[in-house]
Amino acid sequence: MSSCSEVSMVLLVSLFVTSLMAMTASAGNFYHDFDITFGGERAKILNGGQLLTLNLDKFSGSGFKSKNEYLLGRIDMQIKLVSGNSAGTVTAYYLSSQGPTHDEIDFEFLGNLSGDPYTLHTNVFSQGKGNREQQFHLWFDPTKAFHTYSIVWNSQRIIFLVDNIPIRVFHNLETIGVPFPKNQPMRIYSSLWNADDWATRGGLVKTDWTQAPFTASYRNFKVSTTSTTSTNSLTEQSAWQTQGLDAAGRNRLRWVQQKFMIYNYCSDLKRFPQGLPAECRRSRF
């Protein structure tokens, strides 16, 4: 083989290896993509970066955040929640920017006594204003296996999904004066912490520390944004940018909200005696 051909072959092999490394990194690795924010050894990254566990004991909870900020995109995370008597604990998984006018998109899982369902609490903050809570019970036990919790965030809407089933949609209604989070980059955060002053039955049920440590587990993080790539196909990578709900998606959303929603701020007339927020007066789909 000529020296020129050898150089060309080396370059091709080098480019292939570099491309393969980039693809592996973009698939989601907790070592590469996240920093532990508190809790010390209570937060552990395992299996070469493919698994992360958070622990809560009587002294401290634990948490992590993404190294990168994201502005619009689709974010998927598989989570297995605290099992057994999880009363008083909260596992939070959310996107947030910083500052007094921050934006935020929340999943929060409120623990409960053994045998009772978790409460999945969702909220959307835009320009520092939240108070847009919707709460659900899930149609499965989220402690027995990993389930996928996703946020699709584009310029038209935010879709909350559980195992790819839509449970909530928050539309961009800036045309009627409702602020929409689309200008502030956000990081991904998660934490496991004690909130027994309010989390379970309004704080009536306290954390049973004899059950500690409590553990939540995370795997299969994926992100698709305009500024990052993933190992998904190009079609999958860009699908989130215009993603809405088709007829089947609207039916699934209706099923979840009719069967499993336990609180909707848009139905709480006592809370808003002067009238429901403007977005509540528009179609939920």
Q: What is the 3-state secondary structure of 55-66?
A: EECCCCCEEEEE
The reply to whether 16 falls in a domain is no
What's the pLDDT at 198? 85
Residue 129 carries which DSSP code? B
User: Pairing state of beta strands 89-96 and 104-110?
Assistant: antiparallel
The reply to whether 17 falls in a domain is no
The reply to whether 228 falls in a domain is no
Structure tokens at 144: 């027995």
| Per-residue buried b or exposed e for 202-227, using 16+ beta carbons within 10 Å of the residue's own CB | eeebebbeebebbbbbbbebbbbbee
Chain centroid offset of residue 127 CA: 19
Q: How far, in Å, CA of 216 to CA of 44, rounded?
A: 11
What's the pLDDT at 108? 97
Listed in order, strand segments (DSSP E) in 9-80 are 34-38, 43-46, 51-56, 62-66, 73-80
Residue 245 burial (C-beta neighbours within 10 Å; 0-12, 13-18, 19+): middle
The reply to whether 2 falls in a domain is no
| CATH number of the domain encompassing residue 215 | 2.60.120.200
What's the pLDDT at 21? 33
What's the pLDDT at 112? 92
What's the pLDDT at 114? 87
Structural domains in the chain (count) = 1
Question: By three-state DSSP, how is residue 267 classified?
Answer: helix
Annotated catalytic residue: which of 6, 69, 108, 133? 108
Annotated catalytic residue: which of 104, 133, 236, 279? 104
The reply to whether 25 falls in a domain is no
C-alpha angle with apex 113: 115 to 125, nearest 5 degrees?
A: 110
> Which are the contacts of 9, defined by CB distance < 8 A and separation ≥ 6?
1
The reply to whether 24 falls in a domain is no
Q: Which domain holds residue 117?
A: 34-223+234-280
Q: What is the pLDDT of residues 163-172, one digit of tens each?
A: 999 999 999 9
- The yes-or-no answer on residue 108 being catalytic is yes
The reply to whether 20 falls in a domain is no
The reply to whether 10 falls in a domain is no
Q: Which residues of the chain have pLDDT under 50?
A: 1-26, 228-231
- The yes-or-no answer on residue 133 being catalytic is no
Listed in order, strand segments (DSSP E) in 116-248 are 119-125, 134-136, 147-153, 157-162, 165-171, 187-194, 214-224
